[in-house]
Amino acid sequence: MHVRILRGVLAAAAVAAAVSAAGLAAPAQAAPTAVKAVPVGQPFLAVSQVTGNYLLPDDTKGNEGTYLQVYPSDAPTWNNKWQFNAVAHSDGQPVLHLKSSPAGHCATDENGNGSLSYLRTCSRGNKDQWWLLKPVPGTDPQNPDYGIVSYRHDDLALTARGEGDAYVDLKKMWGGEPSARQGWHFYPATSD
Sequence-ordered strand ranges (E) for 67-145: 68-71, 81-90, 93-101, 105-109, 117-121, 131-135
Sign for the CA dihedral angle at 173, 161, 184, 94 comes to negative
Q: List residues bridging with 90 in a β-sheet.
A: 93
More confident residue, 39 or 24: 39
At residue 39, the pLDDT reads 80
Q: What is the domain partition of the chain in residue ranges?
A: 44-188
User: What global pTM score does this model have?
Assistant: 0.78
Is 71 a residue whose pLDDT tops 80?
A: yes
Pick the CATH number of 44-188 from 2.160.10.10, 3.30.470.20, 2.80.10.50, 3.90.110.10: 2.80.10.50
For residues 175-180, give the mean pLDDT: 93
Is residue 160 pLDDT above 50, yes or no?
Answer: yes
Portion of the chain with pLDDT greater than 70, in percent: 79
CB 183 within 8 A of CB 145: yes
183-188/44-48 β-pairing: antiparallel
Instruction: Over range 158-171, report the average pLDDT.
Output: 89
Q: Which residue has the higher pLDDT, 67 or 165?
A: 67
% pLDDT > 90, the chain? 59
